[in-house]
Amino acid sequence: MAHQVHIIGGGMAGSEAAWQLARRGVHVRLSEMRGGGDTTAAHNSDGLAELVCSNSFRSDDHEKNAVGLLHHEMRGCDSLLMAAAEKARVPAGSALAVDREVFSAAVEEALAAQPTLEIVRERVDVLPSDGLTIVATGPLTAPALASSIGAATGADSLAFFDAIAPIVYRDSIDMDVAWMASRWDKGAEASIALGGDGRDYINCPMTREQYENFHAELIAGEKTEFKEWEANTPYFDACMPVEVMAARGIETLRYGPMKPVGLDNPHWATPEHPNGRWPYAVVQLRQDNKLGTLWNMVGFQTKLKHAEQVRVFRTIPGLENAEFARLGGLHRNTFLNSPTLLDRQLRLKSAPHIRFAGQITGCEGYVESASVGMLAGLMTAAQIAGRDWTPPPRTTALGALLSHITGDAEAETYQPMNVNFGLFPPLHGVKKKARKEAYTERGKADMAGWLATLG
């Protein structure tokens, strides 16, 4: 099948871009190297849009949350990935979490049904010299193509490390020690609507002594060694390995992934716990599949060696006999200095027939990656149709993220960024407590007007 657009990469961004184009009748060739004899250090399957880190798309609250607003806007653009997430959704309080396998299968099924879309399992080693192209190979771009991108951009890509959290089998968790609850019961109504009971996290409690011993074990545990070429690569803060956080200070984890606030332990209503039912620290696990058989350790991405992970994490109360479906890992991510290299339509300034999309542009997070892929698809569809492209307003989550990537950020200090209200044009004269809601109200109103301009 002759194609009008070549998309390289079948992850979150590539899949969303392909959907937006194909549903508008554009002939697309989607090249994905997994399934064609190649894979990456982080992927476990050949499925399109495989989630390799967390199974969470983060908060689905679109009233006061930037990523929740991004969910809302993507749904308004008929996002395939948001629709697939609804099909694969599992209870997670106010967060949007999914069964990974169900999610990937839903994406692949929808794309395979598009008559103008051809999915090809092949590795692309060189940037095409002509023809409309969207590069959405993500932070794990294969070395040959990365070299070709480097040659085309005239500059070395930046790089950072990303770490993956372990996944535990539910039936190996001791629920006589752990208990089910959401922090302050937040998101209980949303959870119940999805078939949950409002208590969507498994909580493993620690006393002060247990926490301090665990902290010491994290610090002392044997870590993955860097290769020479990786030595100066920084971490992205949102995926900081738990032991790196621990090294920042004894209290760091208690104010991060192990914070105990809002978690009242019913097992501790006994004389053995004179300080009451409130733990000193808590390890939370979140449901990872629809069956509820797999649970991931929230915020516990790690670079501990596998044997050390088993040893150290089994010192957590409730996880003494934990069996791991997947242990944590570490991989090197790369991204472009997009404010310097890309124009406002995500086109490579030195080769404007090529657009980049997803995490390789320097956005961070599943939703952000998919949203940039969606925008790349919409931009390309407008170009093919001969229509002028009007970007989403900067007051929207889509517009704020796009503006950050394509020019608002400082090129000298550019690094991966999740969507957040700091990227939005400021609101003046609004009290701090009402500001988040005001941002989302403004964004929704401006988004409604922009949606009317889409073909």
Tell me the CATH number of domain 5-157+336-451, given options 3.10.20.440, 2.30.130.10, 3.50.50.60, 3.30.720.200.
3.50.50.60
* Confidence (pLDDT) at 43: 72
Does 369 score more than 50 pLDDT?
A: yes
68 is in an annotated binding site: no
When pLDDT is cut at 50, 70 and 90, the band that residue 294 belongs to is confident
For 117, the 3-state DSSP assignment is strand
In this predicted structure, the answer to whether residue 186 has a pLDDT above a threshold of 70 is no
Report pLDDT digits (tens) over 85-141: 999 999 998 899 999 999 999 999 999 999 999 999 999 999 999 999 999 998 778
- Per-residue tokens: 240: 């900081």
299 is annotated as contributing to ligand binding: no
9 is in an annotated binding site: yes
For 164-332, CATH gives 2.40.30.260
- To the question of whether residue 13 is assigned a binding role by annotation, the answer is yes
d(CA 69, CA 126): 37
Extents of the domains making up the chain: 5-157+336-451, 164-332
Q: Mean pLDDT lowest for which of 123-127, 270-274, 332-336, 405-409? A: 270-274
Q: How many CB atoms lie within 10 A of CB 170?
A: 18
Q: Average pLDDT in the 318-323 region?
A: 97
* Nearest one of 339, 345, 390, 338 to 359, comparing CA atoms: 338
Q: What does the pLDDT read at residue 416?
A: 77
Contacts 24+ apart (CB under 8 A), 306-315: 307/222, 308/221, 308/222, 308/223, 309/166, 309/221, 311/217, 311/221, 312/214, 312/217, 312/218, 312/221, 313/166, 315/210, 315/213, 315/214, 315/217
**Bigger pLDDT: 267 vs 162:** 267
Is residue 229 very low, low, confident or very high in pLDDT (cuts 50, 70, 90)? very low
pLDDT for 360: 93
* Residue 53 confidence class, pLDDT cut points 50, 70, 90: confident
Confidence of residue 235 (pLDDT cuts 50, 70, 90): low
| Largest distance between two CA atoms of the chain | 74
